[in-house]
Amino acid sequence: MKLAHLLTAAFLATSINAARVAAAATNGVTVENAYARAVPPTARNSGAFMLIRNDSDQDRKVVVAKSDVSEVTELHNHIHDNGVMRMRRVDAIDVPAHGSVELKPGSYHVMLIDLKHQIKPGEAIHIDLTLDDGSTVPVDLRVRQVGMGMMMNKGASMGGKCGAMKGKCGAGKCGGAR
């Protein structure tokens, strides 16, 4: 009898956990307006931008981005460093509860480093974002031509702070954003 109760309790606990996992899979985090920047044939890197919305009661963080178009995929931000705009890898991008964060040129972006092929306008690519709760948000993006004026200006300095990047900015507007 006791054993039966224990088993029932264990079963209930398992069900609750299963429900939690299911809830995590639909974590209330959605992505809109996702696009990646088309690059010229010689470019090694590009950037991806999107609006990430969190309709849940929990603050969330994006902790990992993965894509199979690039050898390395990183979360980046731009910072002002003595008046110079630099890109920097970040460990996480916060997405507040009932809020959103916009990944855009000159700000947060997903950095696609060491592209396996030239990504061209109209191409569909895929990025998986992993959240701090372990769930994944799949993102389908279109590659878009972003104005050349958005590309890195001469004044920008990577300062070797851009992870695996080799001194080239693909995220657009690096250094140009004021």
Rule CB under 5 A: which residues touch Cu ion?
A: 76, 87, 111, 171
Nearer to Cu ion, 31 or 156 (CB): 156
CB of 108 to Cu ion, least distance (A): 9
Among residues 31 and 48, whose Cβ is nearest to Cu ion? 48
Nearer to Cu ion, 29 or 111 (CB): 111
CB of 21 vs Cu ion, minimal distance in Å? 33
CB of 150 to Cu ion, least distance (A): 13
Least distance CB 23 / Cu ion (angstroms): 33
Smallest separation, CB 100 to Cu ion (Å) = 20
Residue with the closest Cβ to Cu ion? 76
Q: Secondary structure of the chain in the HEC alphabet? A: CHHHHHHHHHHHHHHHHHHHHHHHHCCCEEEEEEEEECCCCCCCCEEEEEEEEECCCCCEEEEEEEECCEEEEEEEEEEEECCEEEEEECCCEEECCCEEEEECCCCCEEEEEEECCCCCCCCEEEEEEEECCCCEEEEEEEEECCCHHHCCCCCCCCCCCCCCCCCCCCCCCCCCCC
Neighbours of 176 (CB within 10 A): 18
Toward Cu ion, which CB reaches closer, 53 or 168?
168
For Cu ion, the closer CB: 134 or 160: 160
